[in-house]
Chains A and B, each alone.
Chain A
Amino acid sequence: MTKFFKWGFLILLALFFVVPLLAMARFAFQSVPVALLTGETWLKGWSIDPIITASTDPAMWSAAKTSVLLAVFTSVLTLVLLMPLAIVTEIKAPRMRPWLTALTLLPWVVPPIALVVGVSVTFRTGAPWFLASVFSLVPFYALWAMPFTYRALDAGLQAINARTLYEAARSTGASFPTIILRVILPNMKASIVAAAALTTALVLGEFAFASLLLKETLPTFMVNFQQSQARAGLALALIILIFTALAIGIVVRTLRRRGLNVQTTGL
């Protein structure tokens, strides 16, 4: 009986995710209205033209390039900022951990619109060039990704028992830089990748900041594109979804094969 419920629940959950995706795919790739769908027509009218329409639009490629660059820069920035913080906190001041965990959540308390207005008012007077560049999104995204990145890194440090490793390394006479470079960082590979993957996923899907600051990233492009080309827009969304899932899957798989366990939460 419990088995029945377990499977029933899992199947419901799967339907909840899969049905919309299937519906999306049908709408994007089949040019038959739902009202006309019958046993005879359901195999007719399929074509991959929408995806060709989308992928031949040069604006799509430029938006995609922007988003990928934003993802890379944001990942690098969050890691550069948070990795030393997470490591030093765990090793030297473990009592500060709960505080940091709470602190990194703060950006999520402020709604994007307030953040954007606040920042643009501040910068418009002093440094208007900052908001003109598309990369002005990077600091926003870095703030936005902070809770995920910090938790991923912190979970990694907990998993390798970083404090004892640090003490063990010190007792053998190693200096602080040696310990960080040869012991702590090499064992954090998995959590660094996890942090970067989370940041990337967040940046590739972020709409509010980009839209409010009038930047063309992949999500904002997709919204505009969909208004003129409904089917091509959905086809694009579907392809990006599958591509992102595959990319993250491959990274996690590769790390597992090398004996590294990817942990993405520290809660």
Chain B
Amino acid sequence: MTLVVMRNIRKFFGESRALTDFSLTVESGELVCLLGPSGCGKTTALRILAGFEKADAGTIEVDSESIGSVPVEKRNFGMVFQDYSLFPNMTARQNIEFGLKSRKVSATQRRATIDRMLQVTDLGDQADKFPHQMSGGQKQRVALARAIATSPRVLLLDEPLSALDAKVRESLREEIRHLQREVGVTTVFVTHDQQEALAIADRVGVMSNGQLEQIATPRDLYQNPKNSFVAKFIGSINRIPATSRTDGLWNVLDAILTGSRAGTELEHADAGIRPEDITVSATHRESANAIIEDSSFLGAITRVKLMLNGVTTIYADLMSINATPFIPGQPVLVGVRSDLETTIIF
């Protein structure tokens, strides 16, 4: 069931355009990530949905009811901010209780809800601590508990992990995912970290210049990017010269691939090939098409930097277990994985 519908939202801040024709639908119980570089409008989109900003044009519906003119405090959304924004004068317990009091929940019910929230966020021993006595991760868990305690219709998270260090970030992102599934709350999560988005979301919406470029499952986004912006933003990608054949298929390093668009006869273009889809094999100088420039061991994989045909720098990710230790300067034959069928044409 579709819960949130944002349609043709436009927003200007003075002269600068924050959102142009932004549309988004979120299914009930789904976790959608809005991902994009800073200034792409993702936070503005979230703040419009929350009600902190007013859209210049467009409609927002939740549960088929227009909420464009409903004030923030009446929307019944939960929100988590990047800087925790816990109330410093209240303990963890009081922070969680704050919203419940505003919503006139009875004392016994409040106690039960708080205890449950403390339990699901694993904060039992922090209940009576003040924010300045807690770590960043604990603070953000309290903020999360506070946001979901009132059983919001939608949970909004604005870069909730950006202020935390790498290790806490990773464990908390799993916790958020787990909690979101357990509570079943429909969630919109804004981040600039693609790994975070891919790891946590049911669907990821990639944004740039105030527009939604593509929204799809993480796998789909990675494997079938709709345009070059998405392809480059999600993971890394090589641009490899390709030539189209008479039947519209593309010839990339002697492999025949279906492009994101059909080519006209003998058209030259660049194909986007992920580093893990490149094959590298040692060969004689005469049959080589590339030279190894550098190779870095990254654990499970080895990333090899190559000079293709003397002009194009490309990267290949090889399983370390299979990768022969290539030496800089060594001539090699570079190809494309044979089971690769479609590719993006820039």
Residue numbers of A with Cβ under 8 A of B are 160-161, 164-165, 167-175, 178, 182-183, 186-187, 259
Contact = CB atoms under 8 A, between A and B. Distances in A.
Contacts of B98: 169, 172, 174, 182-183
A90 to B, nearest CB: 14
Contact of B85 (A164, A173, A174): A164
A167 B73 contact: no
Interface in B56-102: 72-74, 76-79, 81, 83, 85-89, 98-99, 102
A187 B150 contact: no
Interface residues of B, number: 27
The A interface is mostly helix, strand or loop, or mixed, namely helix
B17 interface: no
18 contacts: A164-B83, A165-B87, A167-B52, A167-B72, A168-B81, A168-B146, A170-B72, A171-B72, A171-B73, A171-B79, A171-B147, A172-B73, A172-B98, A172-B99, A172-B150, A173-B73, A175-B102, A259-B130
B83 A161 contact: yes
Interface string B35-73: 000000000000000101000000000000000000011
Interface of B: 50, 52, 72-74, 76-79, 81, 83, 85-89, 98-99, 102-103, 130, 132, 143, 146-147, 150, 156
A171 B87 contact: no
Contact of A171 (B78, B88, B89, B130): B78
A114 to B, nearest CB: 40
Given A160-B88, A186-B89, A259-B130, A172 B146 contact: yes
B76 A173 contact: yes
Contact of B102 (A160, A165, A167, A173): A173
Nearest to B97: A172
Given A170-B73, A175-B73, A259-B132, A187 B102 contact: no
Contacts of A174: 73, 98-99, 102
